[in-house]
Amino acid sequence: MTLLAFVAHVAVLSTFQHHRAQTLAYGDLRTALAKAEAPTGQLDLREDLVAAGTPVAWLQIPSIELSEVVLEGSTAEVLRSGPGHRRDSVLPGQPGTAVVLGRQLTYGGPFGDLSRLQPGDEITVTTGQGASTYRVFGLRRAGDPLPEALRSGEGRLELLTADGLALLPDGVLHVDAELVSEPYDASSRVMAYAALPAAERAMGQDREAWTLVVFVLLLLVGAGAATWWLWTRWGRWHAWVVGVPVLLALGVTGADAVMGALPNLL
């Protein structure tokens, strides 16, 4: 039951969840842009860190038909709703390297086609400062040479997702793109990569999420035992009417909990 629920969650339910989250995020981002309230750096208007899940940019890659709202943060939870901006990096359009992570397969798999990008493909990113254009200049994997260091005033966009077979990754795919439009003013930075929690890095996991997984699976085992008892005591139809809906609900809940505990780029 749990395995079937997991497959159904990956193939269907998570895609619907992603679509709904993106619809809501797009509305929020449009409103923030219209009011000139969209974040332009690591801090919000109150000088606090921008809250995780806040829409911060609109990412468009015509060559792979990608159009996604980018959210602040890169935990597995945030990446359920769409690509996430790594909080220690600059926002797209500013001097420096902006880093955006996205899922390969689950929750709509927005970055599932990154491997199809070719040098010269253009990427447009719209933030609270305006639209910026990037041009892809390379794809790399573990062991490949790193790009040359940026010179003062230059900008770069780095897109990350899982590499390899779906749900069986063998590394991380990096797409590097150079900023070809005029850079916007840089914002103040208060967080460095060293301060970034492990759960927000590439292939990061929320270790505490496994506690919920174990709890739900225990409930599922208990519900299965109760359903068997109903089968032997009351009969097959009573067990089906009472037990199956409960098992399905727990199966979906368990699948969702497992997805939250897996690496954030899957």
Each residue's pLDDT tens digit, 54-101: 999 999 999 999 999 999 999 999 999 999 999 999 999 999 999 999
User: Given a cut of 90, is residue 45 above it in pLDDT?
Assistant: no
Residue 149 pLDDT exceeds 90: yes
Q: Are residues 40 and 146 in the same domain?
A: yes
Residues 156 and 235 reside in one and the same domain: no
For the chain, the farthest-separated pair of C-alpha atoms sits apart, in whole angstroms, at 76
pLDDT tens per residue, range 95-129? 999 999 999 999 999 999 999 999 999 999 999 99
Q: Based on the fold, state whether residues 71 and 195 are members of the same structural domain.
A: yes
Query: 189 falls in which pLDDT band (50, 70, 90)?
Result: confident
My answer on whether 176 and 229 are in the same domain is no
User: Both 49 and 118 in a single domain?
Assistant: yes
Please give the pLDDT value at position 89. 98
18 domain residue, yes or no: yes
The pLDDT value recorded for residue 8 is 61
Provide the domain count of the chain.
2
**Average pLDDT for residues 214-227, to the nearest whole number?**
77
> What CATH number did the domain enclosing 181 receive?
2.40.260.10
Of these ranges, 5-14, 74-83, 257-266, the one predicted with the greatest mean pLDDT is 74-83
User: Which residue range is the domain that position 231 belongs to?
Assistant: 208-261
Same domain, 120 and 239: no
132-195-205-91 Cα dihedral, nearest 10 degrees: -10
84 lies in a domain? yes
Note whether 226 and 150 are same-domain residues.
no
In a domain, residue 233? The reply is: yes
- Examine the domain organization and report whether 173 and 194 are in the same domain: yes
The pLDDT, as a whole number, for residue 226 is: 79
Do both 192 and 247 map to the same domain?
no
Q: Is the pLDDT of residue 11 over 80?
A: no
Residue 8 CB burial class (10 angstroms; 0-12, 13-18, ≥19): middle
pLDDT of residue 2: 55
Q: Do residue 166 and residue 234 come from a single domain? A: no
Cα 153 to Cα 55, 94, 97, 184, distances in angstroms: 25, 8, 11, 10
Residue 237 lies inside a defined structural domain of this protein: yes
Reported confidence tier of residue 236, pLDDT bands at 50, 70, 90 = confident
Which is more confidently placed, 35 or 5? 35
pLDDT of residue 126: 98
Choice between 5 and 42, residue whose per-residue pLDDT is larger: 42
Residue 1 has what pLDDT?
53
E strands, the chain, in order? 55-61, 66-72, 84-85, 96-101, 122-127, 130-140, 155-165, 168-179
Residue 185 vs residue 247, higher pLDDT: 185
Rounded to the nearest integer, the mean pLDDT of the chain is 90
- Residue 266 belongs to some domain of the structure: no
In a domain, 241, yes or no: yes
The pLDDT value recorded for residue 227 is 78
